Amino acid sequence: MKTTTRVCNLCEAMCGLTVEHSAEEIHRIQANTQDVFSAGAYCPKSQGLADLYYDPDRIRRPLKRQGDEFVEITWDEAFTSITRKTKELQRQHGTSTIATYLGNPNSHHFGNLLALPFFLRSLRTRNKYSATSVDQLPHMLAAYLMFGHQMLIPIADVERTEYMLILGANPTVSNGSLLSGAGLSSRIKSISKRGGKVVVIDPRYTETAAVATEHHFIKPGTDAYFLAAIVQRLLVTPRLRHLETMVTGLGDLTNLINSLPLENIQTMTGISQEVVQNISEDLLRFDRAVCYGRVGVSTQRFGGVCQWLINTINILTGNLDREGGALFTRPAVDIVNLMAKSGSCGSFDRRRSRVRNLPEFSGELPAATLADEILTPGKGQVHGLFTIAGNPVLSLPNGPKLETALASLDLYVAIDFYRNETTRFAHYILPPVSPLERDHFDLVFNAFALRNQVRFSPRLIDPPGDSYDDWGILIELCSRLSASGNRLARWRQRAMARLLLRLGSRFVLDLALRIGPYRKQRMSLKKIAANPNGIDLGPLTPCLPGRLFTKHKMIELCPPPFVAAWTDLCTSSLQQSSGDRLVLVGRRSLKSNNSWMHNCPSLNKSRNQCYALLNTEDAFARGITDGTKIELSTDIGSITLPAKVSDKIMRGVVSVPHGWGHHRKGIKLSLASSTPGVSLNDILDDQAIDEFCGNAALVGQAVTVNRVDRS
Ligand code: SF4
């Protein structure tokens, strides 16, 4: 029996764990109190690491579809057939007839992240999609347009701030997002304990609101107006401090923001002028203040504008790149610099999607239009798909439409270890090993962490000899698919893939560490491995203007694309609850993150987490009480689930968690199927989108709510 330290990869918090294990058994998973980053914080989801390893439903050998069934095949058979069919389709319809979809878990696997650029290059497709465009795209776009790099996302300095304004985020439950810091709940509580203030703006009185100083309900989808009203007030006496010489476009921004009359802010958002005034004053009164907004504000019709305005608030209060405000990280593997060196700072609107004319971001098209690209005939139609660690049937709006699209594909390859709501349509499923059977290193989330630090988690259990990790699968496919381009290009691609296979992902990671910002401290994989609790690299520190990637090394306050989006905002009439209809928002629970976690015994023991939360008055008007079965209907479809009645949600709003709906035929998730829940995305409209940036507008869609016996 051994005890090994490990960083949990199941969410962005990156908690340090200790795992008691033998060669093939996991005995106990606990918090690592000595971990340099999390110091003993963790959550119940950590037990999912063992559940995943033992899960009898986890696929361990490649599968091939035969009629309605799947049969096991060898890895070589799988790679050979997939390569042949991919090439056939590309010869017939062009290279972009094969699309790719990357799910969120890719960000948690350094092997995937290192291999994906090679794999995508070997496919040479322009049809690339990912969960980014149903999630954090607005953050990345704002970073790209304002600071010149899509990954230069400012991190709220929760540890040192005196005032935190939180919108559309519930870090007490999610444990932080684009804000990696284990134990965020107690860190947020500490702000008020040290005399500061935490203000939560949310249509729901969330678990974070419960530990905040103040909470205000906001009508879903109206955050851009609220943020604009704050910016209008800050522009009266902006306090740029050290940023004075680093910003450009202040005059243009002032003219633009003042062009929108916001006297009726209460009617528009539900938040009074007085509250807006007080918050604006507090943002300037506190020396160290920060505004942080996450998925609830990103996934709405003006989500792009929201993230631009949030950065603007932090700039106009002089709190960007300042202790206690919003700072940039300096991780041991500096993905910002590595991407810049390879010319990947970002891109926006270089081309448009074929069917709906939506803009690309960083080479990807909006995922909400993937089904259109598969179902709409014509030149450029998608006939083949690779999904990698994603479950878009449950993650993308209008799941049923995507199901129809997936069923029509000529080739669908899923790299996944579950037969889930999406992968059940696959022709081939290639399963990587489980997390504890491979090395782990946080390439992405260290770039969004509250503190600079570095940790490496070697694999704990040796995987079976004939298995592949994600890196191996992608590089192997790459070596076989590299048959496009001229002969020299083909040879180069294949030689590179073979070399990478021989060197392994550890070699590439070590190289990235050795050339990173801590090279003078002789940073290497060996050095990190010798420190099982990790190496602390210090607090976040100011780094501008040196870290800016904009043309003139200035922060762009008023980038032209946002001007166009602003015009849209000014002329828009938002969909509001009216008459019988309520508006939808999502919800997160502590024991759920991604859909596959619902198959973990340790996380699926408690009461049903998939229920609709609605306000007491709305419920009363419809004869609904706790536990009543209700039907939620939109033009897309309807779902039936139990109701929970509460005053902790705004009138006119109904909240449903996402990631459920495991009742579908053909999946093999035994435990999840016994408590299936329903998928919120079965009723969300895929046409509802932030047209400006292409991010899905999941928040604020109108829905009819009825008791089942009355519908
Ligand atoms: S908070 Fe996230 S990283 Fe920490 S133990 Fe839970 S799932 Fe793992």
Of 362, 361, 662, 381, the closest CA to residue 370 belongs to 381
Domain assignment present for residue 38? The answer is: yes
Give me the mean pLDDT over the 444-455 stretch.
Answer: 97
What's the first-to-final CA gap in the chain, in angstroms?
Answer: 58
**Confidence bin at 499 (pLDDT 50/70/90):** confident
pLDDT, one tens digit per residue, over 114-141 is 899 989 989 999 999 999 999 999 999 9
> Does any domain span residue 141?
yes
Residue 406 located in a structural domain: yes
For all residues of the chain together, what is the average pLDDT?
94
81 token code pair: 């057939």
Decide whether any atom of ligand 1 lies within 6 Å of the 43 Cβ: yes
pLDDT in tens, 459-486: 999 999 999 999 999 999 998 987 556 7
Radius of gyration of the chain (CA): 24
- Shared domain for 102 and 200, answered yes or no, is no
One domain for residues 490 and 625: no
Q: What one-character DSSP code corresponds to residue 369?
A: G
470-481 and 110-123 helices, crossing angle to 10°: 10
Between the CA of 458 and the centroid of ligand 1 the distance, in Å, is 18
Parent domain of 431: 63-131+334-538
How high is the pLDDT of residue 502? 83
**Residues 367 and 456 grouped into a single domain:** yes
Determine whether the shortest distance from the Cβ of 52 to ligand 1 is under 6 A. Answer: no
Which of 5, 11, 29, 436 for mutating ligand 1's site (highest number of atoms within 8 Å of CB)? 11
630 pocket-lining for ligand 1 (C-beta < 6 Å): no
Tokens of 649: 């949600």
Nearest atom in ligand 1 to 593's CA: 7
Does residue 216 register a pLDDT over 70?
yes
Note whether 361 and 455 are same-domain residues: yes
CATH of the domain at 8: 3.30.200.210
Mutate to test the pocket of ligand 1, among 43, 179, 594, 597 (most ligand atoms within 8 A of CB): 43
The CB of 32 under 6 Å from ligand 1? The reply is no
Spatial CB neighbours of 522, under 8 Å, sequence gap ≥ 6: none
> Cα dist. 299→120, 143, 170, 266, 541 in Å?
26, 17, 14, 22, 30
The verdict on 361 and 497 lying in the same domain is: yes
Q: Is the CB of 37 under 6 A from ligand 1?
A: no
Both 675 and 593 in one domain: the answer is: yes
Residue 710 has pLDDT above 70, yes or no: no
Alpha carbon of 172 to ligand 1 centroid (Å): 12
Out of 29, 30, 33, 42, mutate this one to test ligand 1's pocket (max ligand atoms within 8 Å of CB): namely 42
Residues 505 and 554 in one domain: no
To test the pocket of ligand 1, the residue of 5, 15, 450, 592 to mutate (highest count of ligand atoms within 8 Å of its CB) is 15
Rounded mean pLDDT of 416-443? Answer: 97
In a domain, 543, yes or no: no
Contact 248, 254 (CB under 8 A): no
For 415-450, give the DSSP string: E-SS--TTGGG-SEEEPPPPGGGS-B--SSGGGGBS
Q: Is the pTM of this model over 0.85?
A: yes
Q: In this predicted structure, what is the pLDDT of residue 604?
A: 78
Q: Which spans in 235-323 are helix H? A: 250-258, 265-269, 273-285, 295-298, 303-316
Centre of ligand 1 to C-alpha 444, Å, is 15
Candidate from 8, 29, 32, 170 with most ligand 1 atoms within 8 A of CB, to mutate: 8
Residues 180 and 280 in one domain: yes
Residue-wise pLDDT tens digits, 511-539: 999 999 999 999 999 999 999 999 999 99
> In the chain, what percentage of residues exceed pLDDT 90?
87
pLDDT in tens, 672-682: 888 899 999 99
Does the Cβ of 613 fall within 6 Å of ligand 1? Answer: no
- Amino acid, single-letter form, for residue 273: Q
pLDDT at 35: 98
C-beta 173 within 6 A of ligand 1: no
Which CATH number fits the domain that encloses residue 100?
Answer: 3.40.50.740
Question: What integer pLDDT is reported at residue 577 of this predicted model?
Answer: 47
CA of 10 to the centre of ligand 1 (A): 6
- Looking from the CA of residue 14, the nearest atom of ligand 1 is 3
Judge if the beta carbon of residue 14 lies within 6 A of ligand 1. yes
Q: Which of 45, 49, 596 for mutating ligand 1's site (highest number of atoms within 8 Å of CB)?
A: 45
From the CA of 41, give the closest atom in ligand 1. 4
Closest atom of ligand 1 relative to the 42 alpha carbon = 5
pLDDT tops 70 at residue 424 = yes
C-beta 600 within 6 A of ligand 1? no
Q: How many structural domains comprise the chain?
A: 4
- Across 191-195, 367-371, 498-502, 630-634, least confident range: 498-502
Return the CATH number at 615. Answer: 2.40.40.20
Does residue 346 share a domain with residue 199?
no
* Cα–Cα distance measured from residue 185 to residue 199, given in angstroms and rounded to the nearest whole number: 14
pLDDT tens digits, one per residue of 4-45: 999 999 999 999 999 999 988 999 999 999 999 999 999 989
Please indicate, yes or no, whether residues 127 and 21 belong to a single structural domain of this protein: no
108 Cα–ligand 1 center, Å: 12
Clarify whether residues 316 and 374 are in a common domain: no
Q: Does 687 reside within a domain?
A: yes
Cα(47) to centroid(ligand 1), Å: 9
Q: Say yes or no: 254 and 284 in one domain.
A: yes
Q: 493 versus 270: which is more confidently predicted?
A: 270
**Does residue 217 sit within a domain?**
yes
Q: Does the C-beta of 289 come closer than 6 Å to ligand 1?
A: no
Q: Indicate which CATH number applies to the domain containing 560.
A: 3.40.228.10
Three state DSSP letters for 251-263: HHHHHHHHCCCCC
| Residue 13 alpha carbon, nearest atom of ligand 1 | 3
Q: What is the pLDDT of residue 26?
A: 96
Pick the closest to residue 309 from 246, 370, 419, 233 (CA basis).
233
